[in-house]
Amino acid sequence: MSRTFSKAVVIATALAFSAASRRAPAAATAKPGAGKKQASASDVPPPSKSVRLFGGARIPALVFTKKGTLLAFCSAGDNSRGHCQVRRSTDGGKTWGKSILVSPDSRKERVQFASISVVADRNTGKIWCFYNRGTDRWNAKKPPIRFSYSEDDGRTWAKPVRPCDCERFPKDLPSLRSVQGRGIQLENGRLLAPVHTIPRGKKSGPAYLYSDDAGKTWKLSQTVKGRTSVEFCAVQLADGTVYMNGRRPDGSSRGPVRWTALSKDGGVTWSPARNEPQLPGAPCHAGLIRLTGAEQDDRSRVLFSLPANGTPQKRRDLKVWLSYDECRTWKAEDSRVLAEGDVAYSDLVVLPDKSVGCLYESNRPWHSIWFTRFRLEWLTDGKDKVAPRKK
């Protein structure tokens, strides 16, 4: 081989390698929704490409309505001014409508909407929305919570009011200081909306507003003893028990970052909180949802989402865990990173085809909220798939 020909081959090879390097994205700049682990089976669908739904916003909440509409909510977040907003999707998250203000007057008032709690009633179709209004939720003379509802799948919303000024709520309702995340509906129809309270003469703590008459009236549950966390989520277990999972109140990244409590009476009273060491990660608000139940499907599956690494100031790598035994155990081998890099709060919802929607925060760009979908096959690398219950 001549020197001239050899030199030409070397140059051509170098140019080809350089072009390939430019085309391949670096791991450090992976886009939201790109999992670290690659599926080995060619028939396992990857998560959908993440879609940015909100900018300059925080506190995601995601619900699926009786009529089949997916609603993505957000608020302004900590120490910032903004609005409580919702976007609608009628095709499972493939396309989204424009942002709708839950409180249209907020555009004029320019006040802070710091957090949000949403509950969708699968029986009546109503969507209930509670949110923090005001910048000083802890020292305000009047409770800063407002609530509204929609009867047309999130298109329009009733005029927001304060619970303490509304006949739907008890007159002696203690001070409500914060709301956070998606509520749930139990099998018997009871609605549960997460709130943080400061009862008269007692310590503050996580609790639930609950309604047994489709939201006509609401009562307040007992607070969880031993915890002051304002960020928690819940799911109903197969035996009817309500399982609560919350962020440790001190925000520390040392030791367990999660705690759990149980309710045997539908969320009215709660067991003392206990630490949960099986879910390591950054102190953060998390997502929790039932994917399948043994009564309707082949087996029980519950999903949990949380940033796997970092501190309260810098959380990273949104991971999804899978429990097969009603939240008793969460194993590392049954988990997978859904979104790499700078992430924070998240919420989960199950769609009719058993795919899972995830709404999560990312600082790429700053304070953005993204949506993606994934399937059980991706989460388990093709080892598990939802199947009908054998008769």
pLDDT at 349 over 90: yes
- pLDDT (0 to 100) of residue 391: 67
- Lowest-confidence region among 145-149, 260-264, 364-368: 364-368
- pLDDT (0 to 100) of residue 175: 73
Query: Which is higher by pLDDT, 386 or 250?
Result: 386
Tell me the average pLDDT of the chain.
83
Q: What span, in angstroms and rounded, lies between the C-alpha atoms of 85 and 104?
A: 10
Query: Which is higher by pLDDT, 261 or 75?
Result: 261
Residue indicated by tokens 């609560």: 244
- pLDDT (0 to 100) of residue 295: 85
pLDDT at 8 over 60: no
Q: What span, in angstroms and rounded, lies between the C-alpha atoms of 160 and 179?
A: 15
Give, in order, the Cα–Cα distances in Å from 378 to each of 37, 61, 200, 241, 330: 9, 23, 48, 29, 18
Residue 166: other Cβ atoms inside 10 A: 13
- Lowest-confidence region among 12-21, 57-66, 124-133, 324-333: 12-21
Please state the rounded mean pLDDT for residues 153-161.
94
Rg (C-alpha) for the chain, rounded Å, is 23
pLDDT tier for residue 197 given thresholds of 50, 70 and 90: confident
- Lowest-confidence region among 41-45, 47-51, 294-298: 41-45
- pLDDT (0 to 100) of residue 27: 32
Can you name the residues that pair with 209 across neighbouring β-strands? 193, 220
Q: Of all residues in the chain, what percent carry a pLDDT higher than 70?
A: 79
333 Cα distance to chain centroid: 22
- pLDDT (0 to 100) of residue 367: 83
pLDDT tier for residue 248 given thresholds of 50, 70 and 90: confident
Query: Which is higher by pLDDT, 94 or 229?
Result: 94
Sheet containing 100-101, strands listed edge to edge, beginning at the edge strand earlier in sequence = 58-64, 70-75, 85-89, 100-101
pLDDT at 239 over 90: yes
Judge contact between 14 and 346, C-beta under 8 A.
no
Which residues, 6+ apart, have CB-to-CB distance to 290 below 8 Å?
235, 236, 301, 302, 303, 350
> pTM of whole model > 0.95?
no
Residue 309: other Cβ atoms inside 10 A: 16
- pLDDT (0 to 100) of residue 331: 96
Q: What span, in angstroms and rounded, lies between the C-alpha atoms of 280 and 186?
A: 28
Please state the rounded mean pLDDT for residues 65-72.
97
3-class SS of residue 179: strand
Query: Which is higher by pLDDT, 325 or 57?
Result: 325
pLDDT at 186 over 60: yes
Catalogue all structural domains in the chain, each as residue range(s) with its CATH number. 40-379 (2.120.10.10)
